[in-house]
Structures are given as structure tokens and as C-alpha cells.
Amino acid sequence: MGVNADSDIVLEMIDIEKQFPGVKALDRVRLTLRKGTVHSLMGENGAGKSTLMKCLFGVYSEDSGEIRMEGRPVRFENPRRALDNGIAMVHQELNQVLRRSVMENVWLGRFPKKYGFISHKKMYDDTKRVFEELEIKIDPRVIIGSLSVSQRQMVEIAKAVSYNAKILVLDEPTSSLTNEEVRHLFNIIGKLRARGVGIIYISHKINEILQISDEVTIMRDGQRVAAKKASELTTDEIIRLMVGRDLTRQFPPNTNTPGETLLEVKNITGKYKPTCENVSFSLRKGEILGVAGLVGSRRTELLENIFGVAARESGEIYLHGRKVENRNSEESIKNGFALLTEERRATGIFPLQSVQFNTILANLRAYVNKGLLSDKSMRGDTTRIIETLGVKTPGQRTHIRYLSGGNQQKVILGRWLLTEPEVLLLDEPTRGIDVGAKYEIYQLIIQLTSRGKGIVMVSSEMPELIGICDRVLVMSGGKLAGILDLRNNKHENAQEEIMRLAAKYV
């Protein structure tokens, strides 16, 4: 590839500056994207990645600086105009019309027409063609809501391709994909690269970045701190550049010591299929039990069954040897359980409410004094959570939607800590949050175990499971495939073993 030849440059962002009240969000940021390359954009949440992309797509207008596409200065008024000019973005949180078909979602806003009416045949054929090119095996006619998150993501990428985009921005595309699906995605990226598409790839997963990128731009506090060839970078260096300090380890040391048995789950089977079947395990005080498995292995359903938000067909739960029913969340909370859900936006936060509201909601009972809520104790508890968990927020009254993903996650974790649970069921607790915040979440989890809490943590990130869990329960096709004891038996090939178990009943 003829690097440095100007004709290769598809996008240039030059000295972009953006000032928000009290903070310089972008400080003379540069980004150069070449045709047929993957350029990764890294940085902690709040480093300015999204702001930069929003300037590109015209969601924000930059205070100064210039954006050039194929040498011409451009300035888009809105994302739609950007799309018309060949810049497409696949968002981390998919915005799709769930109850309509795949093809309608792909051609939304530009349905192919014949005599003024929509031609479903052309729509089908065109979708099929794009899917075949990308080797996506999805029927364009199925309702998109019935697909898995990864399939929906593939559809979104195909949609971007159907616009003949010259520039494609992928925001955290692999956060909910299994390894197999990630390979498929990389395959597609490879095809697009060969076609000359310039790809901006935003991710927190360093291994993937090193694997897929040609160039890497790292941002911190609104500044570009490095722009290098991927081949010149190492994991340690990327982390150091991102956090601006040496993060010698990705995971804090496991100082926890598992104690007596806290929780016993026997033969849990959910009521409405597909669900988990016949799963049994036990959890000790101060123990972190990881739950691994492929997407669709019903890990979330297992947690939901234990917490009583999904209907249980059969099975028993014992806490301290005493049987608990956990028929609904209210009862489970009283029994000392907490469930941090997987989809923060859908089932975690109340976006239009304040940080305080979001913090205290699960613990309202504690603030009622003669029928009325005590502002003082609600404020006190929220302050305590903000301080101990290091939530970065301008104040308690700020709407939670203005916080970064990592800070939102801390608020929700705080919501659960206030209920003083004994068993914390965490579903993908670090999804979509940056390295620094992840480390803090791990620290919090380990601190909790030192206070005798038991943690069940579903995760799709292998290093995380191996890095902080005492044992890892592997699920496959809704069934328990095996439990690995990482604390007592040093598994040389823990990762391979987990993968093997995960594929057991598929």
C-alpha cells in the first residue's frame, strides 16, 4: 500500500477543537484515515472519541479546525448528510425497528420504489446481494427483533455497506460477540478493506485492536496522545498511553479468601424456553464465581431465574442452608440478592432521572420515615456511593444520561450496594466501559468479597474471567457444561478448556 501518497487519504480531521462548559473536550485533535485501512481510535471513556465522531457526523459543530474528505473540505449538518456523502457508522447500541423485517431495516428511509409503491422484491434481492457479498447467512424477511445481538450487528454493518460508504465507523462492534462471531466480523472488515473502504474502529479490546488495525490513534483528556502504526505498539504501551500512568496489571490482585458455603442452587430450570435447564452450583462467602458461555448459552436466564425476574419451572435455592423462594425481585432483594443487568440502557438506568434517583431506587424502604422519604438520608447515601465508588458527576441532580457508561455502571452498582446484598449477580459488569473504569470495577468486586459477599459474574471476556474469578462455571446450550476451579488447580490452558466446555452441548 502506497502510504504517504495523498490520494490514499480518504479522511483528514485537522486540529479539531471543541469547548464545552468548563472543559475542553477536543484540543487540536488530528486524525488521518487512509483508503483500505483500519484506523483504531482508543481512549478511556470521556477521552473525546465520541465527541470527535460527533463532529465528523455533524451532531456537534467544531469550534475550529477542518475536516477534509478526499481532499475537499466538508462540513455535514447532520448524520444523514454524512451518510449521503459516504460516511456510515455502526453504533454500539443498535437503533433498529425491532418489529419490522431485516430488509426493511436495511433500506429504511430509502425504500426501493416502483411506480411510486415500495418494491419488496427489489428490496429482498438487494439485501440478499449485500448479505451474500459479506457471507451473512440471515433471511432478509425475518423480523429483526428475533435475531441475536450479533446478527443484528451484522445487519447494521451490511446496511452501512449498502450505502457504498467510503468511510465506516464501528463503535465497539465486538462488545457482545463471541469469538467465532468476532472472526466473522474481522472477515467482513477484511473484505471491506480490500474494497478500499477506510474504517475507523473504536474499541476497548486491545488484543483485537492489535490484530485488526493498521494504525492506532490514542486519545486522552481531549488530546491526541499518540498516532502510530499498530505494528509498533504493545498492549502495555497502549494502556500506558490511554491512562497516562503505568497500569502494571490489568487486574487487581485477588486478595479474597472464600469461606463457608453461602449459596446453593439446585437444578434450576426456567419455565419459558429457551432457558437454562437443570443447573446446580454452590457459592462460598467471599468467592467470585465466573459464568462463561457463548451467546445463547442462557447465562442471563440463569441469573434471572435465581433473582426471580424470570419464571422458574423447578429448582431450589438455599442461602446459608435456608431455602429461599425469590419469587420476584422485591423478595430477592429482601433475601439479600442483587442483580446487575446486562443491558444498562434497557434495564438499568432511568435516563430522565437524576443520579440520586438512580442510586437510591432499590433501597427506598430504608428512607421512609413516617410514610415520607427523608431527603437527608437519600442525599447522604448518594454522596457516600459517589465518593466510595468514585463516580464522576457534576452533582446528584444531574440526569444520569449525561454520565459516561462506566460512571453509569458505578451508579447502578452503588444502587445495589445500598441494599446490602449477600449475593451479587453481575451480568457483564464491565461491558462497554474503558480500561481504567474496568480496573476500578474489579477492585470494587474484590473489595466486596473481602466483606464476605458472594459474587456470580457472567462475562464474555475470557481474560476477565481468568483474571479475577476463583472458579468459572461454563454453560452450553442452557446446560451446565462444567466448573473449573482456577484457585486450587492451576489450569495451564484455562481458556481452551472453557472454550471446549462452552461448545459441549451446542
Residue closer to another protein, measured from CB, 437 or 486 = 437
445-484: which residues touch another protein (CB under 8 A)? Answer: none
**Cα 394 to Cα 199: distance, rounded to the nearest angstrom:** 35
Residue closer to another protein, measured from CB, 126 or 331 = 331
**Cα 506 to Cα 492: distance, rounded to the nearest angstrom:** 24
Taking CB under 8 A as the criterion, the residue among 436, 454, 477, 478 binding another protein is 436
| Smallest separation, CB 49 to another protein (Å) | 13
Binding segment toward another protein, per CB under 8 A, in 91-99, 112-120, 168-176, 345-353 = 345-353
Q: Which residue has the cell 488447580?
A: 489
Taking CB under 8 A as the criterion, the residue among 235, 394, 496, 506 binding another protein is 394
Strand intervals (E) in 190-271:
198-202, 215-220, 223-229, 261-270
* By the rule CB under 8 A, 243 interacts with another protein: yes
Q: At what angle do helices 375-389 and 405-418 cross, to 10 degrees?
A: 130
Taking CB under 8 A as the criterion, the residue among 22, 109, 116, 253 binding another protein is 22
| Smallest separation, CB 493 to another protein (Å) | 33
Residue closer to another protein, measured from CB, 176 or 341 = 341
Pattern 395-434, another protein, x by CB under 8 A:
---xx--xxx--x-------x---x---------------
# residues near another protein by CB under 8 A: 55
Residue closer to another protein, measured from CB, 23 or 506 = 23
Closest CA to 345 of 102, 171, 94, 146: 94
Binding segment toward another protein, per CB under 8 A, in 100-108, 151-159, 356-364, 475-483 = 356-364
* By the rule CB under 8 A, 328 interacts with another protein: yes
Residue closer to another protein, measured from CB, 221 or 237 = 221
* By the rule CB under 8 A, 393 interacts with another protein: yes
Distances 119 to 108, 122, 124, 125 between C-alpha atoms, Å: 13, 6, 9, 10
Taking CB under 8 A as the criterion, the residue among 124, 201, 307, 442 binding another protein is 307
* By the rule CB under 8 A, 349 interacts with another protein: yes
**Cα 285 to Cα 151: distance, rounded to the nearest angstrom:** 38
| Smallest separation, CB 327 to another protein (Å) | 11
* By the rule CB under 8 A, 442 interacts with another protein: no
**Cα 73 to Cα 56: distance, rounded to the nearest angstrom:** 12
Q: How many other CB atoms are there within 10 angstroms of residue 491's CB atom?
A: 14
| Smallest separation, CB 292 to another protein (Å) | 23
Binding segment toward another protein, per CB under 8 A, in 9-17, 85-93, 269-277, 341-349 = 341-349
What residues does 206 pair with on adjacent strands?
A: none
Q: At what angle do helices 235-243 and 435-450 cross, to 10 degrees?
A: 90
Residue closer to another protein, measured from CB, 87 or 412 = 412
* By the rule CB under 8 A, 17 interacts with another protein: no
**Cα 295 to Cα 476: distance, rounded to the nearest angstrom:** 9
Taking CB under 8 A as the criterion, the residue among 1, 5, 20, 77 binding another protein is 20
**Cα 111 to Cα 189: distance, rounded to the nearest angstrom:** 26
CA angle 167-171-177, nearest 5°?
120
Q: Which residue has the cell 473525546?
A: 48
- Relative to beta strand 471-476, strand 288-292 is parallel
**19-24 contacts: CB < 8 A, separation 24 or more?**
19/63, 23/222, 24/222
Binding segment toward another protein, per CB under 8 A, in 150-158, 161-169, 208-216, 357-365 = 357-365
Binding segment toward another protein, per CB under 8 A, in 81-89, 164-172, 275-283, 332-340 = 332-340
* By the rule CB under 8 A, 271 interacts with another protein: no
| Smallest separation, CB 320 to another protein (Å) | 21
Residue closer to another protein, measured from CB, 194 or 352 = 352
* By the rule CB under 8 A, 324 interacts with another protein: no
Taking CB under 8 A as the criterion, the residue among 42, 177, 333, 486 binding another protein is 333
DSSP 312-357: EEEEEEEETTEEE---SHHHHHHTTEEEE-S-HHHHT--TTSBHHH
* By the rule CB under 8 A, 368 interacts with another protein: yes
Closest CA to 429 of 388, 461, 396, 390: 461
Binding segment toward another protein, per CB under 8 A, in 118-126, 232-240, 363-371, 461-469 = 363-371
- 148-161: b (≥16 Cβ within 10 Å) or e: eebbbbbbbbbbbb
- 334-367: b (≥16 Cβ within 10 Å) or e: ebbbbbbbbebeeebbeeeebbbbbbbebbeebb
Residues forming the site for another protein (CB under 8 A):
19-23, 25, 44, 46, 51, 221, 243-245, 307, 309, 328-330, 332-333, 339, 341, 346-353, 357, 360-362, 364-365, 367-368, 371-373, 390, 392-394, 398-399, 402-404, 407, 415, 419, 436, 440
